[in-house]
Each structure stands twice: as structure tokens, then as C-alpha cells.
A and B are shown apart, each in its own frame.
Chain A
């Protein structure tokens, strides 16, 4: 070793503890912590296993939020849709970006600690080049990638610990969701319904990456529900899992939302097509299906029911029960009862204009369809809500203080689709509607001129809407609600991130970012100060909807691209 190298090594060795000293030692994430997360942290996709998107922090309130100011900002260096929440564990922040990167930062300052870049194949098509967040468990950080790998990273160094191929990306399987961590397992689900996959949810040993179980979302021959698919249509039946499941530690059941059946035209797969467009209750230890509810059968509208329902113990119209609440892409707000197995229908009603369901069976909730608004091969029909639904992937939020459920919605918007025959080619789109038709599907109504995007607040006790905030065009903004009587969200094409009074919907603060905000906001506390964090970075579905709007509206809007993590706090 030369003297100079020796000196450098010595200097590095001396410096390392100094730099690390700025932060406390990393706190391992245990099951106990995930079941009862500390108020100062945001340990998972929706902050708690119930999926609320709620933080009890209340330093920032409806009274002082108008003074909220920038603490720091950080360029991710990536374009496209930034959708992941900044996930925070005692001063360490973990943010995932498009192209399967994870950045670890000091939560207080935005100083980069490490960055992980997953190499992705040159040939990969990324229809949804995004990622919706990491999972924390033990000393590790887990990311699911668009080339269908699950990767475990060392939380302190960002080094790969293990990497498991979950499915074959060449057949159209990919992942965008934040994994769910519980009881020694890391659970993920696969996207790719538009490429003719057979969807599944799978669990991997957190320590080794070995597959523990795999449960298909599309029932096969001989399985319960297998007779709802003709011939071998189940093999390409879709049923994507786009979004992290929620979890009830008392019953050890995880609840997952399942996407639409594929291809799109219902006559190509006559039957109910279980378990597409459903919620599934899976035992976390075994993957066994313990219960389900299919929101709508034999889908024809691309209405993925992607979000997992929120777990809320509530009283609704005089009945006290453990609920599952889901704002459906099909435009209905669903209330179900969860048990130690079966899922029971309780109530549902439309939260946006919906012209497809003529009625729901009062006992089972099974909808009856209006054939005039049900697409089919060789048939052109108009239906509302549009193929993006009443609510797409952006998560709703529930605030136990106000008792209100907040929904980022699209109202007054319809689609027109013409079904056509489709042939399966491995790795190619498998829709049954021409791409040209998909791009020009939007049909505005006279009401669209009043507004389209909404933030809605619903009193779950009474089933009444308490307030609605409207936007002229889209709302792709995931919501955060806090103990400070606040709701935060972006989602509009004017680049703004806003705070609302959670009780009455009044806009109390807004901030124009560098791009559109479709990231999941989070909040956390370090050294006695509360921070509110969100990623800006317009892309994927929001951008596609903008393209479709530009095709039919007089005004054309281009939203600038580029990912930035924005972090706000009150002035000292």
C-alpha cells in the first residue's frame, strides 16, 4: 500500500463515523412496530396496516398550516410518474422512483445516504414506469420492480441482500406496488393484466427470499370459482394486483384488491370470472383464500378494483361491525363486513355518475347491468364513469378524528369503447379494444364542463357526503389526513399540492411544485418538528388522461416532468 492510499483509507475511516453520527443507529422494524406504528414515523405505504393514510401528528393544524414552508427539496433525477410515499423510520427516509431506484435520505435535511439502481432489461416495455413505495422490515428495505423482481436491500448501505425473480417479465408480468411485510413474510402481487397474464399474490421469506406461497387471483380448473372461466381463458385472465394489501393482525388476514378480467370484452370469457374485480382475504401464513367479495362480475369496462379496502371498525346506519370500505373504480362506495374468513356485503351506493348498474341485490350486492352500457365484441357503447373509473389507484384516506373517508374522484366523465377480436401474442398488449379507441375513449358530458376532479368527504356513519372540492380537470392525487384536522393532496395539472380543512374542505394552503403531484403524501416528526413530504413527478396514467383530454378539449395542457421530493414544515 502506498503512503497516499494509506492516508486516504485512514481519512475515510475517520470520516465515516462522523457522517454516520449525524443520525441515530437504524431502528429495526419489528412486527410489533408495524402493528402499532409510532406517531412520528410513516413505516409503510398507508402508514398503518388498516390502510388509512392517517397520521395522528398534530403540530401542523388547520389553524397554522397556512404558514407551512419548504424545509428541503431533492431532485430524483428521474422523469415519469413518481407515486411512492416518502417512508420514514426514526430519521431515515426511503423513497422509490420510476426505473426501480431507491433513495435513502436523512429525513430532516434531505442529505442522500445511499441510492440503489436496479438494472432493468433493455427490452422491457414499461407501460407504467413507476413504483409505489418500499416496505421496511427488520434491517431491510424491500422493492418490487417493473421487471418482476423482489429485491431486499440492507437499510444501512443500500446493498442487495437477495433478489428473487417473482415472474417472467417477457410474458408481461411486472410490479409497481409497495410490498406488504408481516410475520416474517414479504408479500407482493403482479400487474400485467393488459398483457394477458394470470394474476397472483405471492409471499417470500423476508430473510432468504424463498417463495413461501403463491395464490392466483384467477381461479383455475378444479379450484373454487374455476368454473367461472370457459376453456383455458383463465390462463390469460388478468386480475392484476396493483396496490399493497391491507392487513388485520387479529385474524392474520390480508385484504387485496384485484384488477379487471382480461381481455376487456366480456363475451370472450362468459361467466363471473372469479376473482377478478374482487377483494380477497388471504391467510398471511399460508396464502389460503379465506373469503372474498366480487364487486362486479364479468367486467367490460376496464374497471380494475385495484385498491385494497380500508379496515375500519365502525357504526353504519345503526349497525356496529368490522368493515372493509372501498371506493370502487366502478363508481360505487362499498361497505363490507370482515370476519375471520368470509366477507359479507353490507351496503353500497354510487359516489360519482354511474349509468351501468341498474340495481344491486340487497343481500349480496351483486349488480344488474344495463346492456345498453355494457361493451362487447363488435359493439360500441358509452358508459360512465370512464374506464379510469370513479377512483383509480390513488388511495383514499380515513380520519378517525373526523370519522370521514376522503376520496380522490373523477366525476362527470364517460367513455366510449368498441370491442374487437384479439389474438394473444406473448408479451404484447391483449385488450380487445384498438389502441386508437383507448386513446380517444373519453366522452365529456355537459356536467364535465362544470368540473371533473373531486375530493369528496363521506360520513361513514350516515352514508352522507359532507363536502366536495372540485377541479376543472383531473385529480390523480393520493390523499393524506392528519390529527391536525387536515387533508393533503395534489393530483391536478396545475402542479399544486394543497392542504384542506378535514372537517369542511376549505383550501387552507397550496404550493406550486415543479411538476404534477401524483405521489402518496406522508408526514413524520424528527427532533420535535413535524414534516409533510410528497414526491412531485407527473406521468403514466395522469399523463395519459391528459392526452385523452387534449384530444377532445379546446385547451391543451402540457405538464412538465421531473421528479422532486418536497418536504415542508412550519417556520421556527
Chain B
């Protein structure tokens, strides 16, 4: 399925309108698939919901915990430590958006006082969310280099600075890691917008 329908700025203090067109494209593909009768999971009302990228208002759930999904809280994210892998969650429908790897995020928490104003504004009390998919060859950005202060990908060692909007600080990646704005609702992590740019590998 084609995701990259809109070019958008690498940075910018508002979430670029990258995803609406893409959602529509995704939806069109989904509808077509359903009509062809292949084994699609049925999700109430919105056939594309589980495959959709994170939406404003979504909660986040850990990918590495067992049992029923529980919305993550600011206090669940350890301070300046290995990122927590998470997926968007729609509480009303008890649905995890797990249909696409490109929806996955990594969460890290910093002392809000250590963040610049712009970064702090899109954090939930110091918790920052980035795409979990490396912009180099699509592997998982899952590791934390404590000495270098960088999130990094085990596949080819691309490193990204969480305090500088996911800027590439080392390795073969050519493009920063997209960020996802968050806010806190009484301590619960809430998605506050769309990815800053298209997650994943840009093919050309």
C-alpha cells in the first residue's frame, strides 16, 4: 500500500497536513480489498481503523506488556532510559492500531526543564514520542545510547537526537526520525496531532 502521497517539511512547529490524503488513499485500498473479499479483519464502522496512523485523541499502549491493553501514563515511561515501544489505542473501541508497523512509536521521558520550549510544547510532561521505524532501511529504532544521548537502530547504527527533533547524529540514515506530538490527560499519554513527516523509508 502506498503511504507517501504528500511531501512535507522535515520540521515545523505545527504537525504538517501529511496524513489526510494518505488516510484516504489507505481507505480506498482497504475498501477495494474488502470488496475483493480477501480475509480482512472487520473493525466496526471504519474498515481502516486498525491500519490507520495515530490520530489525535488516541492513547498509547506498550507493545511489550502482556494482557489487555492499558493506556500508558507519563509515570510508566522511565526517565532518560531505553525507549518504550508503543502502539496507538482507541479506548472507546478497545482497539489497538496494530495493522501497520508505520504506526509504532517509541516513548522516552526527560526532565521537562531540559527540553527547549518547542520540544517541551509537544511533550506530555517530558514524554516524547518518535516513529519507531528507522528512516534508513525500515528497521526498529529501539535502543538508547546513554553516553551519546541518542536513540538508535540496531540494524545499521543510525542515531537520532530526541532533544533535537529526531535529527540524525550518526549512521547511514539520511532523514530525521518523525515525531508525534503528545499531551497529558491527568497523567495519561494522549496523541495530540499527526507525525511531523511520513514515517518509514522514503523510496526516492
Mark A residues whose CB is within 8 Å of B.
79-80, 119-127, 129, 425, 427-429, 435-436, 438-439, 539-540, 543-544, 547, 561
Contact = CB atoms under 8 A, between A and B. Distances in A.
A425 B143 CA distance: 18
Given A543-B156, A544-B156, A427 B101 contact: yes
A119 B142 CA distance: 26
Contact of B137 (A129, A427, A435, A439): A129
Contacts of B201: 122
Contacts of A539: 156, 172
Contact of A543 (B2, B139, B157): B157
A125 B4 contact: no
B194 interface: no
A430 B187 CA distance: 33
A211 B137 CA distance: 29
B3 interface: yes
A435 B3 contact: no
Contacts of B140: 125, 428-429
B6 interface: no
A124 B143 contact: no
B142 A126 contact: no
Which of B140, B156, B157 has the most C-beta atoms of chain A within 10 angstroms of its own C-beta?
A: B156
B200 A438 contact: no
Contacts of B154: 435, 438-439
Contacts of B156: 80, 539-540, 543-544
Interface residue tally of chain B, by bracket? 20 to 34
B80 interface: no
B113 interface: no
Given A80-B172, A435-B142, A561-B172, A122 B200 contact: yes
Q: Describe A's contact surface by its main secondary structure.
A: loop
A120 B137 CA distance: 11
Contacts of A126: 137-139, 155
A124 B140 CA distance: 10
A125 B138 contact: yes
Interface in B153-181: 154-157, 172
A155 B140 CA distance: 36
A83 to B, nearest CB: 15
A539 B136 CA distance: 12
Contacts of A122: 1-4, 102, 138, 200-201, 203
Contacts of A129: 137
A121 B138 CA distance: 10
A219 to B, nearest CB: 30
Nearest to A540: B156
Question: What 9 A-B pairs have minimum CB-CB distances, sorted nearest first?
Answer: A126-B137, A123-B101, A435-B154, A129-B137, A125-B139, A125-B138, A547-B157, A122-B200, A122-B3
B31 to A, nearest CB: 19
Contacts of B138: 122-126
Contacts of B143: 435-436, 439
Interface in B1-39: 1-4
10 contacts: A121-B1, A122-B102, A122-B203, A123-B138, A125-B133, A435-B142, A435-B143, A438-B154, A544-B156, A547-B157
Contacts of A121: 1
B155 A127 contact: yes
A174 B63 CA distance: 24
Contact of A125 (B1, B63, B100, B155): B155
B86 to A, nearest CB: 14
A169 to B, nearest CB: 11
Which of A121, A122, A428, A543 has the most C-beta atoms of chain B within 10 angstroms of its own C-beta?
A: A122
